[in-house]
Amino acid sequence: MKEWPLWEVFIRSRNGLDHKHVGSLHAADWEMAIENARDVYTRRNEGVSIWVVESKYIHASDPEEQDSMFESARDKVYRHPTFYDIPDEVGHM
Amino acid sequence: MNQPASPSLFQFVLYMADNCLVLGHRLGEWCGHGPVLEQDIAMTNISLDLIGQARLYYQYAAELEGKGRTEDDLAYLRSEREYTNALLVELPNGDFAHTIARQFLFDAWHLPFLKTMLSSPDPGLADIAGKAVKEVTYHLKWSREWVLRLGDGTEESQLRMQVALDEAWMYRLELLMPAPFEQWLIDAGVIAGPDEIREEWERTITDTIREATLVLPEDPAVQTGGKTGIHTEHLGHMLADLQYMQRAYPGLEW
């Protein structure tokens, strides 16, 4: 059982919402992973849909590269759509 | 207009309750001992489903009896001889394969039977079936997939699954052999007879065993007695555990 791969679990809590990462678990195959996810993560009525993906297929950005990846976006305020006057008739956006 | 409830209906509801409580308790014994965390939770989830179903049946039985006994009285204050669950569900957990064999042979009967109970003219039974059938659909999916995984797994898992299946085999038929109280209800059209579910039951079992690359056991022996209160040596010990608190501290609440 130590050889069972790790799976990442994503749950959609309601129709219309996105699947959200909720945690990980071990399972021998994807069917067992979905059943385990159902038993571990939806027993208090948390979900209407489950995705699982083997953890090894998830590639992540490197925390060491935080600055070059994300820092430079911070002073580019012009990328936010905050420089327009929105007519009152448009209402809440 | 209130008609007195049939004693057979009361006995049948108790029988269903006892099946669910005893198997639920057995699965609960795995709590903290499962082979992996996720399966520990899976088994206790199924345990809680079954104990929830048992409560519905006990509550209904208490109402049918109308003598002031409660669900707790029925669960905690009846002796082994008064329990009428099928022998299959009281078998000890054994190794994980034994637990799976017991669960699978029970689910293979439980699901098709509940489906027929959905259209029972007795509204109490139909209501309980409506809730239970969804849970039990998952139970059968879970136990069936484990038979496949262990059977068509490693040499070791296949051997253990086969041994477990062989040992549980002679207990499976009791579920399809009507006790007098069931026969009365079958004749009255309140519950389905075994012929209505036999085909689905048999197909589920044989298809699964074949797909799992296991050998269909050929042992013709059949063990019965549970429905009339004649149990294996195991039930008394289990009830001693299950009923201890109410026996030692009558009326205890918490």
Of B37, B41, B149, the CB nearest to A28: B149
Is the pLDDT confidence value at A1 over 90? no
Number of domains comprising chain B: 1
**Contact across the interface for A35 and B45, Cβ inside 8 Å:** no
Q: What is the mean pLDDT of residues A12-21?
A: 93
CA distance B150 to A1: 13
Domains in chain A: how many in total? 1
For residues B86 and B102, the answer to whether their CB atoms sit within 8 Å is no
Q: Tell me what pLDDT residue A79 has.
A: 81
Q: Which of A3, A25, A30, A32 to mutate to test the interface with B (most CBs of B within 10 A)?
A: A32
Residue B137 within any structural domain of the chain: yes
Measured CA to CA, the distance from residue B9 to residue B13 in angstroms comes to 6
**Residue B206: domain span:** 7-248
Q: Could you tell me which residues of chain B have a Cβ less than 8 Å from any Cβ in chain A? A: 35-39, 41-42, 45, 141-142, 145, 149
Cross-chain Cβ contact B145/A35 below 8 Å:
yes
Q: Quick check: is A64 in a domain?
A: no
> Is residue B253 situated within a structural domain?
no
Contact A39 B42 (CB under 8 A): yes
Q: Name the β-bridge partners of A53.
A: A8
B234 CB contacts (<8 Å, ≥6 apart)?
B90, B91, B92
Q: Say which CATH number the domain at B64 has.
A: 1.20.1260.10
- By the CB < 8 Å criterion, does A60 face chain B? no
Give the nearest partner residue to A35 out of B35, B37, B142, using CB atoms: B142
As a whole number of angstroms, the distance between CA B124 and CA B146 comes to 33
Q: Residue A75: its pLDDT value, please?
A: 82
Whether A9 contacts A21, CB under 8 Å: yes
Lowest pLDDT segment from A4-13, A67-76, B37-46, B182-191 = A67-76
> Would residue B254 count as lying in a domain?
no
Separation of alpha carbons B8 and B208, rounded Å: 34
Give the number of beta-carbon pairs within 8 Å between A and B.
30
* Cβ pair B42:A32 closer than 8 A: no
pLDDT, tens digit only, all 254 positions of chain B: 345 678 999 999 999 999 999 999 999 999 999 988 999 999 999 999 999 999 999 999 999 999 999 999 999 999 999 999 999 999 999 999 999 999 999 999 999 999 999 999 999 999 999 999 999 999 999 999 999 999 999 999 999 999 999 999 999 999 999 999 999 999 999 999 999 999 999 999 999 999 999 999 988 899 999 999 999 999 999 999 999 999 999 988 87
d(CA B87, CA B78): 17
pLDDT at B1: 39
pLDDT tens, A36-55? 999 999 988 889 999 999 99
Dihedral sign for Cα atoms in the order B53, B59, B65, B67 = positive
Structure ipTM: 0.72
CATH number at residue A21: 3.10.20.520
Indicate whether A9 pLDDT > 90.
yes
CB A39, CB B41: distance < 8 Å: yes
Domain membership flag for residue A7? yes
B36 within some domain: yes
- To probe the interface with A, which of B30, B38, B148 has the most A CB atoms within 10 Å? B38
Residue of A nearest to B39 (CA): A36
Angstrom CA distances, B22 to B16, B143, B238, stand at 10, 17, 8
Q: Is the pLDDT of residue A59 over 80?
A: yes
Predicted confidence at residue B223, as pLDDT, reads 96
- Of B38, B45, B145, nearest to A25 by CB-CB distance is B38
